[in-house]
Amino acid sequence: MFDTDAAIPFTLNGRAVAVAAPAEWRLSRVLRDELGLPGTKIGCDAGDCGACTVLIDGETSCACLMALGQVAGRSVTTIEGLPVASPIARQLQQSFLRHGAAQCGICTPGMLVAATALLAHDASPSEASVQDALGGVLCRCTGYRKIIAAVMDVGRPVMAEARPLAGKAVGARIDRLDGQRKVDGTDVFGADAHPHDALLLRAIRTPYHHARFTIGDLASYQRENPGILRVFTATDVPGENCFGVIGPFADQPVFAVSETRFRGEAIAAVVGEAKTIEALDLAKFPVTWEELPAHLTLDAALADKASLVHAARAGNILVRGRVERGDVAAALAQSDAVVEGVFETGFVEHAYIEPEAGIARRVGDRIEVQACTQAPYMDRDDVAKILGIPQDSVRIIPTAVGGGFGAKLDLSVQPFIAVAAWHLKQPVRMVYSRNESMATTTKRHPGRMQVRVGANKDGKLTAMDFAGDFNTGAYASWGPTVANRVPVHASGPYFVPAYRALTRAVHTHAVPAGAFRGFGVPQAAIAQEQLYDVMAERLGIDKLEFRLRNALRPDQPTVTGQVLGAGTGIRACFEALVPHWQRALKDAAAANGTASVWWRGVGIAGMWYGCGNTSLPNPSTIRLGLKLDGRLALHQGAVDIGQGSNTVITQLCADALGAPVDSFDLVAADTDLTPDCGKTSASRQTFVTGKAAQLAGEALRRQILRLANAGLDATLDFARGKVTVLDRGVAHDIDLAALTRDGRGYVLAAEETFDPPTSPLDGDGQGNPYAVYGFGAHLVELAVDVELGLVKLLKITAAHDVGRAVNPTLIEGQIEGGIAQGIGLALLEEFQPGRGENLHDYLIPTIGDVPPVESILIEDASPVGPFGAKGIGEQALIPTAPAILNAIAQATGVRLRRIPATPDRILAALKEARA
Amino acid sequence: MFLQPASLNAAIDLLAQNRGRLLAGGTDFFPALGQMAVRDPLIDISRLSELRTISVGAGTIRLGAACTWSEIVTAPLPSGFDALKEAAREIGSVQIQNRGTIGGNLCNASPAADSVPPLLTLDAGIELASPRGLRQMPLAAFIRGNRQTELAQDEIVTAVLVPRANGDLISHFSKLGARRYLVISIAMIAVAMKQAADGAIEQACIAIGSCSAVAQRLPELEAALIGSRSVSDIAARVTAAHVAKLSPIDDVRASAGYRRDAAIILIRRAVQDCFEKRAPSVGR
């Protein structure tokens, strides 16, 4: 029998340990905080995500569901000890790396532990066995297919592609350059960065959608809770108590003042020693609430005389967007056919497996914030504003990011820990619980879109009239971006001669909606691609043929009047799907010839997406330095959130310079060390930062060639102390020691900036909003159980024009991961504020929910992108949901206008159709 | 305080002295805790050997309350337990199955508790221990409502007891969820039946979960199925009237109306699948 004072003895990673920690603590916390093994990740504290999977006597358990005392006398194996405990684990790690099975890396330890347990019992498991064994670990990045492949291939010799020679990196399937630490479990995420002496901060949050409040007697509260070092409220914010990603719209307080506008908004924070703060019952914080009426829906917020969420925003409209070209009313009136519909989507949660976390420390008159983020320079500027200090007094050091997908563009923990550390002059950390992460961070905007589409008998689109309202929640966040992106994209990648798209971002008392992979374009595509299907049916034209007839040609203007020219690859994407479409239709028809409750269907949808900011500057700057030892320092400030920018940008720079990727040392994002590469969003890092890296590589190459007086096609060899330039058979050695070193110690350096050439949109939304668009089309094969409304996905074939596939493995990873999120959007996911702020009520796809994916990479080079490359991050998600919905309609004759298409909604639609 | 008694009697004493909380697999305890620190004394009963044995006796099959789902799945049990094993394999994930216990699932008394429908079809009882000694009651009486049981403050569920004869039934379990793994059921059905030599149903036990505050047997339907000897006939005998007494709710997983509609389909299919386990040669 144990009491709390006895040390708990057990075997940890093969070694006997005795841990003097409270025996009732969760094992996960003890492993991480007491034993210094942060490879075991905490994603939910509820057994819903499996990130904390460890082996107990060889069998998997969630470490968050076990008390420390329960492992007394047992053997615990974590990711840190896995390679020693099991030779197969080492092979698995390499297989994960080779297959690109680790993206952000936050789920990777749990996946590896679970897979090791499987392989101990079954050396060559079937796909179904792998799914059964790994079904308890959620991944939000990969779409799981590469994880399945990595486990099933583990027994085979690793066919490592040799690191490509100089000039051959672009196009090579090289392993992720930062991948080893992801498969080792040693990557440092937001919650892993803290030193032992850090104080812990927890926020006091409102339980109401809308409320007025009065904070009570803090002095006596602190007297009763002497462990609280300090309580922070709005009056403690040294600078402006206001932040927001788009300066002119910034409206979100660090701590609310007298009124809270959404459930979960913070009003105060308590800071102290971790054990003390964890033991507090935050419900006892002295505050008096007065619940106020709340608008949660578009209808409520838009009703006549609805009260205002923000006094200065009339009608609860944050912003309107508009693109108009030609006379839509006339064109629709003259069209042979017009179809219309209203389509609705809900809030969608990013559900990355890493809840927000970080640490702040004051260093003299500067503040350092080390947290998970997608936008270090934006964080820097807002933290400076909040603290009332100059921007260069703030240092943002992004940790590894365990998934972002847009929500980690906005501040989360940073304002709280920065304010606290500034005052207390001690390191302060904060880790969001899953509940806190889901309740308070941004969501995908719910959309309600009313759309009319016209076409003629020849199958040519004539006009589209689109009106969309988007629930932007209580604060602005990226609402303006959604309102402006949607009108530019709502036509899809087609030639639509007459076009009008009007949007509104509408405030409600819901959690702020912000950026989520596509900024509203996925919602618009759900409406547009379904209506195009309806139109094809109306005209009696094959749905793929209809899209081919209308696919935007390089010489045709977009709805903003831009003529894209070379690199307009949408037609190629559709053409690549033709044989798959024909085969799939045949398969479905054959299956439907047999009596079954499972009705087969095939669906298709197209997509386009502009890379980078809409008509706004968004430069990236890359610095490249040659060191005395012949190695290259790449100051690469684009945050790799799992998508692979650390690898892809190095590949681009390497080929531009003419050096092998192995000769590069990455200087990762850090506002003190790396120039601004902008935010990791808008599918811009490969394109914009990649281009800056290409330019920097070329600039350094020119410097080297000049020193050797060599021709442009000379080859370079980088060695310790010298660079050898081989020019038409003659070798010139450049003695690096003879060169002057700059302040950073570089003997040669280049710094280049790229800002995509765009033009402002005029009053009608006409202009060149993007320099590059990515294109794609997905084909979905599925079956619907027409008695239960269940959907079984059979296969997804995805064709994407990526311009140039810089690293095909990473691109496939983006496509498969985007598809998995598209599946969730279409079939599973709807966040309802106050209901199910956890990962067992809010369901994202598991390893058993993503079918085989066949990716077809089209390389219709962009004249602007680096080596022709375009973005893929958001492009990958957009067509999945509409293609699924089109396939459901083809299978059943029922079209879902409200998503997600959950079994109850599908069955209700079927019943309505039969009635 | 964390207490790890060495025997059931010690656990009963500790519980009586400390009024603490019992901890077994922890798969419901820790999620419910959220970010709160543990305040009550914890009494860990997950290793008590008295609670961890599975035995097939002459009259009763006894499953120790602290047996995990993984242990139940691999235990040599007769066909009547197939449905329970199928349910066990659908609980959460392997990680959850390795920790979660049958007794914990019953005490948690969720309307979506996966083990309850299979155990109801087997007329399972449970055994409780306290300073007053042992008592037994039918499972159907033990679970009173949503998260409510007959468990007294000082009691420990020690075992699940199934009449030996019911072990020989043919059984089947079916769970409807919105995704493949880690899913709380929208509805679930357990069937246990006995067929005559010619395949005709002699005895049918059917329970449905997640469609009312407590999973329940469907006695009218069970009676209506007696004598059925084909899957098409089974389909005809399962009617909407048989699920009329359910009281499903609207929640984040599905609407009440959907649950009602789906229940009929699921029952029909589950009975048919169970029927075919025993009699593959019987025609449709």
pLDDT digits (tens, 9 = 90+) for B212-238: 999 999 999 999 999 999 999 999 999
pLDDT digits (tens, 9 = 90+) for B81-131: 999 999 999 999 999 999 999 999 999 999 999 999 999 999 999 999 999
- The CATH number fitting domain A1-164, selected from 3.50.30.30, 2.60.20.30, 3.30.110.30, 3.10.20.30: 3.10.20.30
Distance of CA A86 to the CA centre of its chain: 33
Gyration radius (Cα) of chain B, Å:
19
- Sheet hosting strand A259-260, strand order edge to edge: A259-260, A211-215, A287-291
- Asked if B99 and A72 come within 8 Å (Cβ–Cβ), the reply is no
Listed in sequence order, the residues at least 6 apart from A795 whose beta carbon sits closer than 8 Å to its beta carbon are A584, A780, A781, A851, A852, A853, A854
Of A26, A433, A843, the CB nearest to B179: A843
- Asked if B258 and A835 come within 8 Å (Cβ–Cβ), the reply is no
Confidence of residue B284 (pLDDT cuts 50, 70, 90): very low
Q: Which of B95, B180, B249 to mutate to test the interface with A (most CBs of A within 10 A)?
A: B95
Domain boundaries, chain A: 1-164, 199-293+354-440, 447-613+763-914, 620-754
Q: CA of A526 to nearest chain B CA: how many angstroms apart? A: 21
Residues 2-21 of chain A whose Cβ lies under 8 A from any Cβ of chain B: 2-4
Residue A857: its H or E element? strand A853-858
Picking from B63, B220, B191, the residue whose alpha carbon sits closest to that of residue B122 is B191
Residue of A nearest to B29 (CA): A65
CB proximity A65 to B under 8 Å: yes
Confidence of residue B280 (pLDDT cuts 50, 70, 90): very low
CA distances from A556 to A560, A840, B249 (A): 11, 48, 54
What are φ and ψ of residue B216, in 5° steps?
A: -140, 155
pLDDT given at position B279 = 53
Q: Which of B91, B181, B188 to mutate to test the interface with A (most CBs of A within 10 A)?
A: B181
Q: What whole-number distance in Å separates Cα of residue A111 and Cα of residue A130?
A: 10
- What three-state secondary structure class fits A555? coil
- Asked if B181 and A136 come within 8 Å (Cβ–Cβ), the reply is yes
- Regarding beta strands A8-12 and A75-77, do their DSSP bridges make them parallel or antiparallel, or are they unpaired? parallel
Q: CA of A617 to nearest chain B CA: how many angstroms apart? A: 42
Average pLDDT, chain B: 95
Q: What whole-number distance in Å separates Cα of residue A202 and Cα of residue A747?
A: 47
Q: What whole-number distance in Å separates Cα of residue A221 and Cα of residue A223?
A: 5
Which residues in chain A touch residue B232, judged by CB atoms under 8 angstroms apart?
none
Helices A414-424 + A376-387 axis angle, to 10: 50
Q: What average pLDDT does this structure show over A446-467?
A: 98
CB proximity A841 to B under 8 Å: yes
pLDDT digits (tens, 9 = 90+) for A596-623: 999 999 999 999 999 999 999 999 999 9
Look at residue B132 and tell me whether its pLDDT is greater than 90: yes
pLDDT digits (tens, 9 = 90+) for A713-768: 999 999 999 999 999 999 999 999 999 999 999 999 999 999 999 999 999 999 99
Of A1, A56, A846, the CB nearest to B4: A1
Which residues in chain B touch residue A109, judged by CB atoms under 8 angstroms apart?
none
Which residues in chain A touch residue B263, judged by CB atoms under 8 angstroms apart?
none
CB proximity A751 to B under 8 Å: no
Q: Strands of chain B (E only): list them.
A: 2-3, 21-23, 42-44, 54-56, 60-64, 125-130, 133-138, 143-145, 148-149, 156-163, 170-176, 187-195, 201-209, 216-217
pLDDT digits (tens, 9 = 90+) for A198-223: 999 999 999 999 999 999 999 999 99
Residue of A nearest to B263 (CA): A788
- CATH fold, domain A447-613+763-914, is Aldehyde Oxidoreductase; domain 4 (3.30.365)
Q: What whole-number distance in Å separates Cα of residue A585 and Cα of residue A573?
A: 18
Listed in sequence order, the residues at least 6 apart from A711 whose beta carbon sits closer than 8 Å to its beta carbon are A705, A727, A728
pLDDT digits (tens, 9 = 90+) for A786-809: 999 999 999 999 999 999 999 999
Of B27, B44, B254, the CB nearest to A47: B27
Residue of B nearest to A844 (CA): B179
- Asked if A907 and B266 come within 8 Å (Cβ–Cβ), the reply is no
CATH assignment, A199-293+354-440: 3.30.365.10
Size of interface A-B (CB pairs under 8 A): 173
Q: What average pLDDT does this structure show over A658-685?
A: 97
Q: CA of A113 to nearest chain B CA: how many angstroms apart? A: 11
pLDDT digits (tens, 9 = 90+) for A255-305: 999 999 999 999 999 999 999 999 999 999 999 999 999 999 999 999 999
Instruction: Please tell me what DSSP assigns to residue A67.
Output: B
Q: What whole-number distance in Å separates Cα of residue A478 and Cα of residue A505?
A: 10
What is the number of other CB atoms lying within 10 angstroms of the CB of residue B76?
7
- Asked if B96 and A849 come within 8 Å (Cβ–Cβ), the reply is no
Complex prediction ipTM: 0.96
pLDDT given at position A160 = 59
pLDDT given at position B19 = 78
pLDDT digits (tens, 9 = 90+) for A578-596: 999 999 999 999 999 988 9
CA distances from A121 to A101, A147, B101 (A): 22, 18, 23
What is the number of other CB atoms lying within 10 angstroms of the CB of residue A640?
26
- What three-state secondary structure class fits A95? helix
CB proximity A58 to B under 8 Å: no
Share of chain A above pLDDT 70, in %: 99
Which residues in chain B touch residue A1, judged by CB atoms under 8 angstroms apart?
3-6, 10
Q: Which amino acid is at A743?
A: G
Residue of B nearest to A52 (CA): B95
- The CATH number fitting domain B53-165, selected from 3.30.465.10, 3.30.460.80, 3.20.20.120, 3.30.450.20: 3.30.465.10
Residue of B nearest to A25 (CA): B38
pLDDT digits (tens, 9 = 90+) for A47-70: 999 999 999 999 999 999 999 999
- Asked if B94 and A908 come within 8 Å (Cβ–Cβ), the reply is no
Look at residue B282 and tell me whether its pLDDT is greater than 60: no
Distance of CA A766 to the CA centre of its chain: 29
Record the pTM.
0.98
Q: What whole-number distance in Å separates Cα of residue A789 and Cα of residue A44?
A: 30
Which residues in chain B touch residue A61, judged by CB atoms under 8 angstroms apart?
95, 98-99
Of B1, B186, B253, the CB nearest to A3: B1
Domain boundaries, chain B: 53-165, 171-278
Q: CA of A841 to nearest chain B CA: how many angstroms apart? A: 7
- Asked if B179 and A846 come within 8 Å (Cβ–Cβ), the reply is yes
Which residues in chain B touch residue A47, judged by CB atoms under 8 angstroms apart?
27, 30-31, 92-93, 95-96
- CATH fold, domain A620-754, is Aldehyde Oxidoreductase; domain 4 (3.30.365)
Look at residue A6 and tell me whether its pLDDT is greater than 90: no
- Asked if B42 and A24 come within 8 Å (Cβ–Cβ), the reply is yes
Question: H helices of A352-401, where?
Answer: 376-387
- Asked if A836 and B184 come within 8 Å (Cβ–Cβ), the reply is no
Q: Which of A26, A70, A828 to mutate to test the interface with B (most CBs of B within 10 A)?
A: A70
Look at residue A568 and tell me whether its pLDDT is greater than 80: yes
- Asked if B6 and A832 come within 8 Å (Cβ–Cβ), the reply is no
CB proximity A283 to B under 8 Å: no
* Residue indicated by tokens 């038409």: A728
Q: Strands of A372-485 (E only): list them.
A: 394-398, 428-431, 447-455, 461-473
Average pLDDT, chain A: 97
**CA dihedral over B17, B20, B22, B26, signed as positive or negative:** negative
- Asked if B46 and A70 come within 8 Å (Cβ–Cβ), the reply is yes
Look at residue A463 and tell me whether its pLDDT is greater than 80: yes
Which residues in chain B touch residue A789, judged by CB atoms under 8 angstroms apart?
258, 262
Q: Which amino acid is at A91?
A: Q
Residue A130: its H or E element? helix A127-134
Residues 187-226 of chain A whose Cβ lies under 8 A from any Cβ of chain B: 202
Which residues in chain A touch residue B98, judged by CB atoms under 8 angstroms apart?
56, 59-61
pLDDT digits (tens, 9 = 90+) for A168-195: 999 999 999 999 999 999 999 999 988 8
pLDDT given at position A196 = 75
Fold equal for A1-164 and A447-613+763-914 = no
- Sheet hosting strand B21-23, strand order edge to edge: B2-3, B42-44, B21-23
Look at residue A94 and tell me whether its pLDDT is greater than 50: yes
Which residues in chain B touch residue A832, judged by CB atoms under 8 angstroms apart?
252
* Residue indicated by tokens 């330039």: A725
Domain range B171-278, CATH class:
alpha beta
Which residues in chain B touch residue A48, judged by CB atoms under 8 angstroms apart?
31, 182
Of A69, A788, A848, the CB nearest to B262: A788
Q: Which of A843, A850, A899 to mutate to test the interface with B (most CBs of B within 10 A)?
A: A843
pLDDT given at position B283 = 39
| Environment class of A712 (CB within 10 Å of its CB; exposed 0-12, middle 13-18, buried 19+) | exposed
B49 vs A156 pLDDT, higher one: B49
